[in-house]
Amino acid sequence: MKKSLGLLLVLIAACIITYLLNDRFLAPVNIENLLRRTALFSLISIGAAFVITSGGIDLSIGSMVCLVGTLLPWLTTTHNWPCVAALLLLIGVAATLGACHGLLITRLKLQPFIVTLCGLLLYRGITRGLTGDQTQGFGSEFEGIRSIALTKISFGGLLPIAIPSVAFITIAVALLAALVMNRTRYGLYLRAVGRNEVAATYSGINTNVIKALAYVTCATLAGVSGVLFVLDVNSAQPSDFGNFYELYAVAAAVLGGCSLRGGEASITGVIIGAALMQVLRNAIVLVDIPTQLEFAIIGGVILIGVGAEEIIRLTAASDKSV
């Protein structure tokens, strides 16, 4: 909780500084775009939080977003699939691939880094092969389904901005994730596995199932996000759609209080972390910082976040030893 509060203060400071450098930051259209992007990236960050809490990592998130997000318009517009059938198939594929990650990691004892790195390469390669590396989009069709991502709710003018519909989807997912993480036996076991898998095994916890479910959750949320991302932008280029999204997801999770050592998570912190990442991206544009420095800035933020976590951990351990 203290870390989430500190991160919130950093987010507020980042917003104030950006506004002082460019007052367009608080323009309603910019705030609405920030809310929409934060909501979309929060979904994949919540999925990453489950995997990181288990003591693992998922590098395939961006490619999973690409796979689902690109194949949805490919199936519906090129091959005339019913939209609902295509959605169910692709989300099912994402969940199945997440289960495969979990089985390879728990049964064959392969390293999560290697398994999901292979997924990163495989899923994008498969997508590019199936689509002929051609941009896929809905064109002017499927306006009804696209409204899921594009609708804005104004609350009758009570607020100066309209709230994107995807924000409510993310809030619902975040509440469910927080409930699972903090109020269910699964969440308790997940943190126990992340802290000490051997001890959890001797305590009678089926660690294989717990870890596998974390990867299923992560892949499924990446698939859902892929759908929302493509509905939002209306087109997807297989070669770059979802590129480096795993970077944003892991960064938001780590900044939000998920320890890369496993065993710790804060869904509230993850959402604040995702918001901070999007504010930084927005600031780069508004303050005219060269966009080539975007990943350098994000990398620096991740390094600072992980470094601060390690300093806090070492300080706490030192205090206890005294």
Residue 82 maps to a domain: yes
At 4 the pLDDT is 75
Per-residue model confidence as pLDDT tens digits over 27-72: 999 999 999 999 999 999 999 999 999 999 999 999 999 999 999 9
Residue 64 maps to a domain: yes
Q: What's the whole-number average pLDDT of the chain?
A: 90
How many domains in the chain?
1
- Strands of 22-147 (E only): list them: 136-137
| DSSP-assigned beta bridge partners for residue 235 | 137
Residue 266 maps to a domain: no
Per-residue model confidence as pLDDT tens digits over 102-140: 999 999 999 999 999 999 999 999 999 999 999 999 887
Per-residue model confidence as pLDDT tens digits over 87-99: 999 999 999 999 9
Query: How far, in Å, CA of 9 to CA of 16, rounded?
Result: 11
Two structure tokens written together for 222: 């990446």
Per-residue model confidence as pLDDT tens digits over 134-161: 999 988 777 778 888 888 888 766 778 8
320, 299 contact by CB (below 8 A): no
Model confidence at 302, in pLDDT bands (50, 70, 90)?
A: confident
Model confidence at 7, in pLDDT bands (50, 70, 90)?
A: confident
Residue 163 maps to a domain: yes
At 309 the pLDDT is 67
- Strands of 46-95 (E only): list them: none
What's the predicted TM-score (pTM) here? 0.92
264, 258 contact by CB (below 8 A): yes
CA dist 301 → 17, 20, 109 (Å):
16, 21, 32
Name residue, tokens 């699972």. 180
Question: How many CA atoms lie within 13 Å of 149's alpha carbon, on the beta-carbon side?
Answer: 21
Min mean pLDDT across 103-107, 225-229, 261-265, 308-312 is at 308-312
State the residue range of the domain holding 232. 46-239
Residue 290 maps to a domain: no
Residue 302 maps to a domain: no
Residue 137 maps to a domain: yes
